[in-house]
Structure 1
Amino acid sequence: MIHSLSGKIAIVTGGNSGIGRSITEVLRERGARVHVLDLDAGGEDTHRCDVTDQDAVKQTIDRIAREAGRLDILINNAGIGFIGTLEQTREVDMDRLFAVNVKGVYNCALAAIGYLKESRGVIINMASIASTIGIAERFAYSMSKGAVLTMTYSIAKDYLSFGVRCNSISPARVHTPFVDQYLASNYAGREAEMFERLSATQPIGRMGKPEEVAYLAAYLCSDEAAFITGTDFPIDGGYIKLNG
């Protein structure tokens, strides 16, 4: 099998919905045993865990690694969004974005790194095109995803000698239930019109599909990507390079 992950033990945070669910499904199709850390405890091999709680994260990841005998892959996918400029961002909003999107990555990577050093494993962090370019009304979100990107570089550098590879993926707009909920809440009766308008902001003319992000993640976790570390991978329909 191309990009086989047979026998690998993986953890995907936020793996019960959206992009995380697709990553979980694709990794399982490739042969990995995937454990999901999510606030929603439903689903196979799902562990109810709040990534902002360092003790809970450590206990959960320790238990998974101990029972499986190893840990090969960590995908830091759990994250939340927020729309607003600097003036529209309250302290509570900033703190929440930081807790989930930044501290959550830190907590999970810290708990997993010892096991990944033993297995010469892989970390994939879900960043965003907002990590590297300005997007209107995404002040706090851009802050958090910029931190994810630079944490990726730092981890890749510090653990290179242990054989741990760390990369990030930066999607543009991807059609997930979050997009549908956002349109229904903010553009009732105009959902189709706004969906087309948002889709058109990608030069390729549409939003991404969750499975397209998942296929990239599976490749980066595989042995075929053994020469890749410390790199961010935009998957953006040409947004960064071709807009304007």
Structure 2
Amino acid sequence: MFCGNMFTDKVVLITGASSGIGAETALEFAKLNASLVITGRNQENLSKIANQCEDNSPAKHKPLVVVADMTNENDVKRIIDETIKKFQKLDVLVNNAGVLESGTIETTSLAQYDRVMNMNVRSPYHLTTLAVPYLLQTKGNIVNVSSVTGLRSFPNVLAYCMSKSALDQFTRCVALELAPKGVRVNAVNPGVITTGLHKKGEGSMNDEQYEAFIKKCAETHALGRPGDAKEVASVIIFLASEGASNITGATLPVDGGRHAMCPR
């Protein structure tokens, strides 16, 4: 689908790249010869992904690895500083880092609300403000990784739903602000993706619950299954590419049709 050198000379920054959608997206961009900056909290995982990216890259580009906590303001600033120091520019920002936690209006603590909103909304807001001056120079673009929970309402993931809805509105507003300056901003909205995200974080599932949850995806997704990270990565790459040159402010479901469904 994508030509092997389509991101040659393009610098792509991906947050949350040590696992799941972020890691898969890094590997796919590497195949297209992008110069990558990958960030996350897990040094070991990031190093592993960096080596795989180098193997995937036609020009054997080794990614710049920045170990960083997206909720730490100094770390966020350091991501941009190190990117520009090494590459002198930025073409694509993929705001992927995020956290999923369960809880209802009766059980969500303020601490949990703050954790989820800080990670899923404040962090990409902050990183984007720092990245925009460089994206304006390259007429680059931004892809935010949201969720079907930004488009539709679900019980028992209240703070998460609110955070992804905010990220979708952020996507649209920033798209309108930067469109006159030639910078596009879009989001992907995955449904359930088999990354194991649901087994991390506060109120997470155990192995048995996760297995039952994945099984239930046959009913909750029109295509009868959950998605995988590569299916999301390919849409992120499309939105970041020239193929999407007339798309901005879009929140694109990659969810097996879940956003279109109503219980019957």
Alignment TM-score, normalising by the size of structure 1:
0.93
Match of 1:33 in 2: 35
Q: Which residue of 2 aligns with 1:89?
A: 108
Q: Distance in 2 between matches of 1:150 and 1:205?
A: 29
Separation in structure 2 between the aligned mates of residue 78 and residue 179 of structure 1, nearest angstrom: 14
What is the identity, as a one-letter code, of the residue corresponding to 1:91? Answer: L
1:12 touches 1:20 (CA, 8 Å); kept in 2?
Answer: yes
For the aligned residue pairs, the C-alpha RMSD in angstroms reads 1.8
Name the residue aligned to 1:75.
94
Match of 1:171 among 177, 185, 190: 190
How far apart, in 2, do the equivalents of 1:6 and 1:171 lie?
A: 27
- Equivalent residue runs for 1:196-235 within 5 Å: 196-235=215-254
Partner Cα distance (1:129, 1:15) in 2: 20
Task: Report what 2:256 is aligned to.
Answer: 237
* Distance (Å, rounded) in 2 between the aligned partners of 1:104 and 1:56: 10
**Letter paired with 2:24:** S
Summarize the Cα distance change of 1:115–1:195 in structure 2 as closer, same or farther, 3 Å threshold.
same
Q: What are the ranges of 5 or more consecutive residues in structure 1 without an aligned counterpart?
A: none
Equivalent position amino acid for 1:165 in 2: R
Contact 1:51 1:107 in 2 (8 A): no
- Distance of 2:223 and 2:76 partners within structure 1: 39
Q: 1:132-147, aligned counterparts within 5 Å? A: 132-147=151-166
Seen in structure 2, the aligned counterparts of structure 1 residues 235 and 74 have a Cα distance that, compared at 3 Å, is same
Question: Is the 2:100–2:197 Cα contact (8 Å) retained in structure 1?
Answer: no
**By how many angstroms is 1:52 displaced?**
1.4
Query: What CA deviation, in whole Å up to 9, does each residue of 1:153-199 have, x standing for no partner?
Result: 111111112111000110110011224669xx745556544431234
**Paired-residue identity, %:** 29
CA–CA distance in 1 between the matches of 2:120 and 2:214? 26
Structure 1 residue matching 2:246: 3-state secondary structure: coil
* One-letter identity of the residue aligned with 2:256: G
Aligned residue among 93, 106, 112 for 2:131: 112
1:111, 1:199 → 2: CA distance?
A: 41
Q: Which amino acid aligns with 1:10?
A: V
- Cα distance in 1 for partners of 2:157, 2:100 equals 9
- The answer as to 2:37 corresponding to 1:18 is no
5 Å-filtered alignment, 1:42-57, equals 42-43=46-47, 44=50, 45-57=64-76
Are 2:148 and 2:191, in contact at CA under 8 Å, matched by a contact in 1? Answer: yes
Give the 3-state SS of the residue equivalent to 2:220 in structure 1. Answer: coil
Q: Secondary structure, in 3 states, of the residue corresponding to 1:213? A: helix
* In structure 2, C-alpha distance between the alignment counterparts of 1:125 and 1:75, rounded to whole Å: 6
Give the letter for the 1:100 counterpart. Answer: M
SS at match of 1:200: helix
TM-score by length of 2: 0.86
CA contact (8 A) 1:36 1:46 kept: yes
Q: Does the 8 Å CA contact 1:38/1:47 hold for their aligned counterparts?
A: yes
The 1:199–1:127 alpha-carbon spacing in structure 2 relative to 1, beyond 3 Å, is same
The structure-2 alpha-carbon separation of the partners of 1:200 and 1:161, relative to structure 1 and needing over 3 Å to count, comes to same
Deviation at 1:66, TM superposition (A): 2.7
